[in-house]
Structure 1
Amino acid sequence: MPDDQLTTDGANRAGSAPPVRPLDPIDTAILRLLRTDGRASVRSVAEQVHISRANAYARINRLIEEGVIRGFSARVDHERAGQGASAYITLKIVQDSWRSVRAKLEALPGATHIALVSGDFDVLLLVHTADNRALRELVLTRIQAMPEVLSTRTLLVFEEQDLLPGR
């Protein structure tokens, strides 16, 4: 069978993601716990969702293999980390330039979230910089210098709070 053909369960042997399937309440509870504390032990997760440790371990591994869990990371207090200025920057870009713009934006210092959106602008970018001077430099000399960027609008963030599931 050629590498790009589907197997009997619908998975692609060439390495594509498995088919999407809905999460059950236990999977949802596991995700909520891991988003709150990505360092939680399998034993702790199992106890809190009332399943065996082996079941918790298998479920977490399946969620990783299926791409539901994309990784584990630390939640950063940007101000305490020396990034006292935060802003959402909206961009209007040249049609069909999303992939190249995304690659350039990903490389920017302080860029933490990028989204292709619909509406009055095309891209929403969240950045964290040391101060407003660094933010100004980032917008004026890096972002607006990209030939695919038609216009930008900067929205300063005065206060922010990460929201966790179950709140």
Structure 2
Amino acid sequence: MDDFDRQLIALLRSDGRMPIAVLAEKLKVSRGTIQKRLDRLISTGAVRGFTVRTRHELDETVLRAITSVRTSSKKPAALIKALHGVPEVVALYTTNGGWDYIAELRAEKLADLDRALREIRSIDGIASTETSILLGSV
């Protein structure tokens, strides 16, 4: 997955129904390029589908987690872009204290969450992470 794929996924995350023509315009490439990339992302499993987003409390089958991220990167823009490119990352926040960012993750299975965490930890500039799976709201 390259930076272009990450940008495409980020746009689709914000609006999964965005037309290919609009995606092409926003990314300044042809519609054919978008379609080929999207086909490849789907065939490799990087994009597992397009769904309706609901309030998280309506879907109790989705695993939710919070990952605290400490960085050593001198290029925060590239690191942020890479984090947004992980499909399970649904929100990213800056924070104070010992951590630089907090990532909110959602996954359908523990295996998906595990893969996403491995992908996050492999991003250049990630020094350490700590993840808490959200069990329920009180």
Identify if the C-alpha distance between structure 1 residues 131 and 80 changes in structure 2 by more than 3 Å, giving closer, same or farther.
farther
Identify if the C-alpha distance between structure 1 residues 134 and 83 changes in structure 2 by more than 3 Å, giving closer, same or farther.
farther
Match of 1:62 in 2: none
For 2:108, give the aligned amino acid. Answer: A
Preserved contact between residue 73 and residue 126 of structure 2 (Cα < 8 Å): no
Equivalent-residue separation in structure 1 for 2:95 and 2:53 (angstroms): 24
For 1:147, give the aligned amino acid. Answer: D
Match of 1:137 among 90, 101, 115: 115
Residue 154 (1) aligns with residue 131 (2): yes
Residue 117 (1) aligns with residue 95 (2): yes
Q: Which has the higher helix share?
A: 2
Preserved contact between residue 89 and residue 155 of structure 1 (Cα < 8 Å): yes
Q: Please give the root-mean-square deviation of Cα atoms over the aligned residues, in Å.
A: 2.5
Percent identical: 15
Secondary structure of 1:119's match?
Answer: coil
Equivalent-residue separation in structure 2 for 1:111 and 1:125 (angstroms): 6
Unaligned residue ranges in structure 1 (runs of 5+): 1-73, 162-167
Secondary structure of 2:112's match?
Answer: helix
Equivalent residue runs for 1:18-33 within 5 Å: none
Deviations 1:73-95 (A, max 9, x none): x8624476686211000111014
Preserved contact between residue 67 and residue 103 of structure 2 (Cα < 8 Å): yes
For 1:159, give the aligned amino acid. Answer: G
Unaligned residue ranges in structure 2 (runs of 5+): 1-51
Q: Answer with 1 or 2: which has the greater Rg.
A: 1
